[in-house]
Amino acid sequence: MKVVSGQVMQLMDKRAIGEFGIPGLDLMERAGRGCADAIVETFGAGTGKRAVIVAGKGNNGGDGFVVSRLLSERGWDAPVLLLAAPEAIAGDAAANLARLSSGVVKSVPQGIAGERELFEGATVIVDALLGTGMKSEVSGIYGEAIDAINAAGVPVIAVDIPSGVDSATGKVLGRAVRADLTVTFALPKLGNILNPGAELCGRLVVADIGMPDAVVAEAEGVEFTDLPSAALLFRPRPATAHKGTGGHTLVVAGSTGKTGAAAMAANSALRAGAGLVTLAVPALLHPILEAKTTEAMTIPLGPGAKGYLQAGALPEIAAAAAVRDVVALGPGLGTAPSTVYLVHSLLAALRQPIVLDADALNAVAPDPSILLKRKGLITVLTPHPGEMARLINGSVPEVEEDRIGCARDFATRYQVHLILKGARSIIAAPDGRIAVNGSGNPGMASGGMGDVLTGVVAALIGQGYDPFTACRLGAFVHGFAADLLLETRGSQGMCATDVQEALPAAMDRIARTRGTHHVLDTDNTSQGE
């Protein structure tokens, strides 16, 4: 599903009106109807219900006027608190204000500090204050209104986006409404799906307002991967499948004290559908990995008592990679100087797709330009924010300030695919495409989750998925497996091996999903440790 900024949505509205002849008044009517429908669907129609619409002077307030009128037609009491003088309302919003019955609107241009008793007995409060155009910090009467809405103890429905959330970044502009349900129009906005905005939206419903298909198709945006989207990406196994169909994944991983990382990457590749998996590990640790991985084949590398891979293992790894479809490099590998040199040598020597994680990322971080030696080849990086900060020689706050920009800049500069892990993982392609992952939950904030993701993405590439799709689908499957666990076991104590074992069930659920109705749960999510 495409996701856009509020600015892009404004351009879409202008195109719909100017090029396709759809009156702005009609778009506002459809938006208000979508919101009213969602309220009635959630809380019911009929007498005895009361919605207090808190409206600003712009088009978001105009949407609120439509909501008031349509709820009134369905038996609701729907008064409007207007934070402006009526004569300050213009355009389509003014037309809809004029359609409201006498006595419905109470103009409070001085603010609602003395009007909070109007919230008493309300079934819902409708936030129609600011909409998607707000960019500066919220203050004054609008800030006071947001505080009053949040303190009311009544379910809140936000129109398009909670007031105070930046529609392009999801950041809070000083203060923001905490909604239980947000109804957005035509397409989700970035602020609806990026945290902290995603959390503040509560449940997110996308209402169809009849935006022309051509306008949607040509709008600049990013892809959001939810369950219906993942189902469209997923390819069920054909009846004629055999182990060769699933590809052969080589996992180069492990060092003393980190055999679990190697085992989880290998076992997760198998659980994600790899036909064959071979695990290349230090010879000293070979007996341990033999015990930890029943289905995976193993290659013991390097003589002597070293518990880490050394530069001399290059010829053997290169020979093994030559007859495999994809290489996963890094989980538990360690950071010994000889191991770092080995990682650099493998990046220069191998032609196969490579998925880099953990210590392989740490080996690259001092000089990411080494990645350019693989220009034209498939290279995937899966950093968490700390690893990403090292890759850009920056800080975690710098990464978190603009996750999309950070991921896109690195992917295009070094011509790699990248999954920036975290709540709402960002997937970036070398050509600048961006996707945002919609699965996962806070239970995933534990060690080993990244090793599982590495195995999943490598397995999908081995099965023939293009790298951008493999990253999108891999991130979704990884988080969705955790979501299935959340339903039955809760988030506390969720381990990476739990997610690993839930991968087949997650992929089966995705394969059986063919729905197209998007109702997005924007609970805070996490991916990777």
**What residues are designated binding site?**
59-63, 127, 131-137, 142, 160, 163, 261, 332, 384, 421-425, 450-451
Residue appearing with tokens 């020689």 = 393
What distance in Å separates the CA atoms of residue 185 and residue 183, rounded to the nearest whole number?
Answer: 7
DSSP at 323: T
3-state secondary structure 36-85: HHHHHHHHCCCCCCEEEEEECCCHHHHHHHHHHHHHHHCCCECCEEECCC
Residues pairing with 329 in the sheet: 252, 356
Asked if 78 and 68 count as a contact pair (C-beta separation under 8 A), the reply is yes
Nearest to 473 by CA among 516, 414, 425, 441: 425
Residues 6+ apart with CB under 8 A from 365: 387, 390, 391, 393
Give me 54's structure tokens: 């808190």
What distance in Å separates the CA atoms of residue 133 and residue 144, rounded to the nearest whole number?
Answer: 19
Give me 474's structure tokens: 């891999």
Annotated binding site for (6S)-NADPHX: 59-63, 131-137, 142, 160, 261, 332, 384, 451
Nearest to 132 by CA among 30, 82, 61, 224: 61
DSSP at 284: G
Annotated binding site for K(+): 60, 127, 163
Annotated binding site for AMP: 421-425, 450
Cβ density class 512-529: b for 16+ within 10 Å, e for less: eeeeeebebbbbebbbbb
Tell me the CA end-to-end span of the chain in Å, nearest whole number.
27
